[in-house]
Amino acid sequence: MKIEVSLYGTLAQYLPTRTQGRTAIIDCPDGVTVGQVIDQLGIPKPYPTMLLVNGIHADPNTALQDGDLLALFPPLAGGSPIALVRRSSCS
């Protein structure tokens, strides 16, 4: 079966060679899961943080069907959480 894969941001480097843009159509066995496609593309773990199949959130165990669109996004923000500082007022 064939699925369409779109890789965004830093994940685009894992698209098959000779891919133009950020989307490729790849051949996969019937019943393949999102996680298996990620492994097939050589994307290292931990898996990308946002996985969408046909625009709906998915997880690595989601089974794909012929013609599905799998979109993978890396973390969109990084670094440490911002520490909130409570300011006290002097009276």
Tallying the residues shown for the chain, one arrives at 91
Average pLDDT, the chain: 85
Dist CA 40 CA 38 (whole Å): 5
Domain-by-domain residue ranges, the chain? 2-73
pTM of the model: 0.79
Specify the CATH superfamily of domain 2-73: Beta-grasp domain (3.10.20.30)
Residues 6+ apart with CB under 8 A from 52: 58, 69, 70, 71, 72, 73
Mean pLDDT to the nearest integer, 46-66: 92
- pLDDT category of residue 18 using cuts at 50, 70 and 90: confident
Mean pLDDT to the nearest integer, 69-76: 89
Rounded to whole angstroms, how far apart are CA atoms 78 and 14?
20
